[in-house]
């Protein structure tokens, strides 16, 4: 019963606006602390790699970014689907807010991958690599979603049409995962997702996990702030927004 | 089922009356493939290496082009509204439209592809595999292009952004299609990629029309 009531409250813009506003500072503080701690652990405490030297340390940015690109796509597609099925404007708002964040993280993952690739592979870009390629395709999916939205003047129609695209595109996310196994490539195999015996020592792994959690919380903070902006944009004429801004909204 | 056949017959008739729309993607396919040696080099060994890539890329682009207007004419003259209101499930109607379009644009492409392949010095033994691979791949491409056409039917700028939306999703088809062709050229077993192409086709044909019909419904709201 409590859950149903809470779910209905999530359809109310002022409630979601306040909820996001209340959560944001917690996410901001814990994200900064975790990223600072993980950064110190990764850049200072972790030992240099026996083959890659200090060059491997870029994984503390690269892996969380790549992971967050995919997480953002899942957040976007899930909330777009929720918005489409239950006609929840707030869920569409969340999907819209996640898209540029996901595109930025994916772009960051590609750039850091290129920076790592130059000394390690001798090239910034390696077409033969499945994960690079699927990361690039993920970026294209984000951009396609944003372009499709921008080509509708009617926001509600943009919400519903782009939701379908997001759900169709989510088919690509499992393909990203399995492409690692489908193609044998130059890229080193996954090093974390082996629970029995990780191929990476604990003092290298621990900062990475902290960084991943830190990036995720940082993403949640950005998502809250973007969602608040999106709600204000959508509800600009509502009375509660005018009370909030003292009638200064457009 | 009756409405499925009716839509099929109607779309066939319309396609043959507007034969220029039917011929455009095919000519596009042939022209893109023929211009490639001008851009690269007419050297036989080089063309043989890149032949399957050129074939698949041109087939991909031409099937996107072919389905660009799948829903637009119907949306503009109001018949799409009637189709949505009809008691037959819209997914089935959309599937009929895709099928009709595939028969008039995809099948001729299957017949033209061996000619292009031969002109790129691909061995004749590889041609049956190429045709089977294209026959399995083009329905998937048609479904994806239909989803794109449905999403953009009421968008500003119309079909120009279809490529942006759909091309990233066609990557698996392209991978397995070229893989099957390359294996056939070197004379190895092509069953693996062909099965995967078939799996993608079944997947696309069963779920794609639902996505496309949902998009058409939203666009016509």
- Residue A15 within a domain: no
Output the pLDDT for position A128: 60
Put simply, the answer to whether A168 touches B221 (Cβ < 8 Å) is no
Chain B partners within 8 Å of A83 (Cβ): none
Task: Identify the band that residue A195 occupies on the pLDDT scale cut at 50, 70 and 90.
Answer: very low
pLDDT in tens, B99-137: 998 988 889 899 999 999 988 888 888 899 999 999 999
- Dig out the tokens for A125 from the structure: 């870009």
What is the C-alpha separation between B41 and B64, in angstroms, rounded? 27
In this structure, what are the phi and psi dihedrals at residue A53, rounded to the nearest 5 degrees? 65, -135
- Residue A9 within a domain: no
Residue A100 has pLDDT above 60, yes or no: yes
Output the pLDDT for position A103: 96
Put simply, the answer to whether A152 touches B165 (Cβ < 8 Å) is no
pLDDT in tens, B137-177: 999 999 999 999 999 988 887 667 888 888 888 888 888 88
pLDDT in tens, A37-71: 988 888 888 777 767 777 778 888 899 999 999 99
Chain A partners within 8 Å of B164 (Cβ): 140, 143-144, 147
Residue A178 has pLDDT above 80, yes or no: no
Q: How confident is the model over A74-98, as a mean pLDDT?
A: 92
Put simply, the answer to whether A144 touches B164 (Cβ < 8 Å) is yes
Put simply, the answer to whether B167 touches A171 (Cβ < 8 Å) is no
Q: Which domain holds residue B77?
A: 2-220
Output the pLDDT for position A185: 46
Q: What's this model's pTM, rounded to 2 decimal places?
A: 0.88
Output the pLDDT for position A84: 92
Residue A27 has pLDDT above 70, yes or no: yes
Task: Identify the band that residue B36 occupies on the pLDDT scale cut at 50, 70 and 90.
Answer: confident
User: Is B165 near chain A, with CB under 8 Å?
Assistant: yes
Chain A partners within 8 Å of B192 (Cβ): none
Residue A130 has pLDDT above 80, yes or no: no
User: Is B38 near chain A, with CB under 8 Å?
Assistant: no
Task: Identify the band that residue A182 occupies on the pLDDT scale cut at 50, 70 and 90.
Answer: low
The fraction of chain A above a pLDDT of 90, given in percent, is: 42
Output the pLDDT for position B167: 87
Put simply, the answer to whether B164 touches A151 (Cβ < 8 Å) is no
User: Residue A229, Cβ neighbours under 10 Å: how many?
Assistant: 14
User: Is B103 near chain A, with CB under 8 Å?
Assistant: no
CB B139 within 8 A of CB B204: yes
Mean pLDDT score of chain A: 83
What is the C-alpha separation between B106 and B141, in angstroms, rounded? 10
CB A216 within 8 A of CB A38: no
**Residues paired with A49 in a beta bridge:** A53
What is the C-alpha separation between A151 and A147, in angstroms, rounded? 6
Residue A94 has pLDDT above 80, yes or no: yes
CB A152 within 8 A of CB A158: yes
Put simply, the answer to whether A172 touches B168 (Cβ < 8 Å) is yes
Angle at B143 (CA atoms; ends B71, A136), nearest 5 degrees: 110
Q: Which of A211, A82, A90, A71 is nearest to A142 (CA)?
A: A71
Count: domains in chain A: 1
Count: domains in chain B: 1
Task: Identify the band that residue A187 occupies on the pLDDT scale cut at 50, 70 and 90.
Answer: very low
Chain A partners within 8 Å of B156 (Cβ): 151-153
- Residue A202 within a domain: yes
Angle at A82 (CA atoms; ends A144, A2), nearest 5 degrees: 150
Query: If you measure CA to CA, which chain B residue comes closest to A160?
Result: B218
- Residue A223 within a domain: yes
Question: At A53, is the secondary structure helix, strand, or coil?
Answer: strand
Q: Which domain holds residue A126?
A: 23-46+54-240
Task: Identify which has the larger pLDDT, B47 or A247.
Answer: B47
Q: In 3-state terms, chain B is what percent helix, strand and coil (to 5)?
A: 85, 0, 15
- Dig out the tokens for A140 from the structure: 């294209």
What is the C-alpha separation between A36 and A147, in angstroms, rounded? 35
Nearest-Cα distance to chain A for B170, in Å, is: 10
User: Residue A99, Cβ neighbours under 10 Å: how many?
Assistant: 23
User: Is B218 near chain A, with CB under 8 Å?
Assistant: yes
Chain B partners within 8 Å of A148 (Cβ): 151-152, 155, 161, 165
Put simply, the answer to whether A168 touches B211 (Cβ < 8 Å) is yes
The fraction of chain B above a pLDDT of 90, given in percent, is: 29
- Dig out the tokens for A70 from the structure: 């995919």
Instruction: Count A/B contacts: CB-CB distance under 8 Å.
Output: 61
pLDDT in tens, B194-204: 998 999 999 99
- Residue A246 within a domain: no
Output the pLDDT for position A148: 93
- The yes/no answer to whether this complex scores an ipTM above 0.85 is yes
Output the pLDDT for position B46: 81
């Amino acid at each position: 019963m409590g859950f149903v009531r809470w779910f209905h409250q999530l359809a109310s813009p002022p409630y979601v606006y306040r909820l996001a506003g209340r959560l944001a500072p917690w996410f901001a503080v814990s994200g900064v602390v975790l990223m600072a701690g993980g950064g110190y652990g990764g850049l200072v405490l972790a030992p240099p790699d026996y083959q890659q030297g200090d060059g491997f340390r870029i994984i503390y940015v690269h892996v969380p970014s790549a992971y967050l690109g995919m997480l953002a796509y899942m957040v976007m597609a899930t909330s777009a689907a929720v918005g489409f099925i239950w006609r929840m404007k707030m869920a569409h708002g969340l999907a819209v807010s996640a898209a540029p964040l996901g595109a930025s993280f994916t772009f960051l993952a590609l750039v850091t991958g290129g920076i790592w690739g130059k000394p390690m592979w001798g090239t910034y870009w390696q077409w033969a690599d499945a994960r690079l390629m699927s990361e690039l395709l993920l970026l294209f999916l984000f951009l396609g979603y944003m372009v499709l939205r921008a080509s509708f003047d009617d926001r509600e129609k943009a919400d519903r049409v782009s939701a379908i695209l997001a759900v169709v595109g989510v088919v690509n996310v499992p393909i990203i995962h399995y492409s690692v196994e489908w193609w044998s490539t130059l890229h080193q195999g996954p090093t974390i997702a082996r629970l029995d015996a990780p191929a990476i020592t604990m003092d290298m792994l621990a900062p990475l996990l902290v960084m991943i959690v830190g990036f995720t919380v940082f993403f949640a903070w950005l998502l809250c702030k973007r969602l608040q902006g999106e709600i204000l944009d959508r509800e600009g004429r509502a009375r509660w927004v005018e009370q909030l801004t003292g009638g200064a909204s457009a | 089922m009756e409405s499925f056949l009716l839509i099929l017959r109607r779309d066939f008739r319309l396609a043959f009356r507007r034969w220029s729309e039917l011929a455009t993607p095919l000519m596009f396919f042939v022209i893109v493939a023929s211009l490639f040696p001008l851009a690269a080099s007419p050297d036989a060994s080089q063309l043989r290496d890149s032949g399957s890539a050129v074939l698949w890329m041109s087939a991909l682009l031409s099937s996107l082009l072919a389905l660009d207007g799948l829903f637009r004419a119907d949306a503009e003259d109001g018949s799409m509204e009637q189709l949505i209101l009809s008691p037959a499930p819209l997914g089935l109607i959309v599937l009929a439209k895709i099928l009709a379009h595939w028969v008039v644009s995809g099948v001729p492409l299957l017949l033209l592809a061996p000619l292009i392949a031969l002109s790129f010095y691909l061995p004749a033994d590889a041609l049956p595999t190429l045709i089977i691979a294209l026959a399995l791949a083009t329905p998937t491409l048609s479904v994806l292009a239909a989803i794109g056409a449905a999403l953009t039917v009421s968008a500003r700028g119309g079909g120009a952004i279809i490529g942006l939306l759909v091309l990233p999703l066609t990557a698996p088809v392209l991978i397995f299609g070229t893989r099957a062709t390359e294996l056939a050229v070197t004379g190895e077993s092509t069953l693996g990629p062909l099965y995967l192409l078939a799996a993608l086709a079944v997947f696309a044909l069963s779920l794609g029309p639902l996505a496309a019909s949902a998009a058409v419904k939203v666009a016509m709201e």
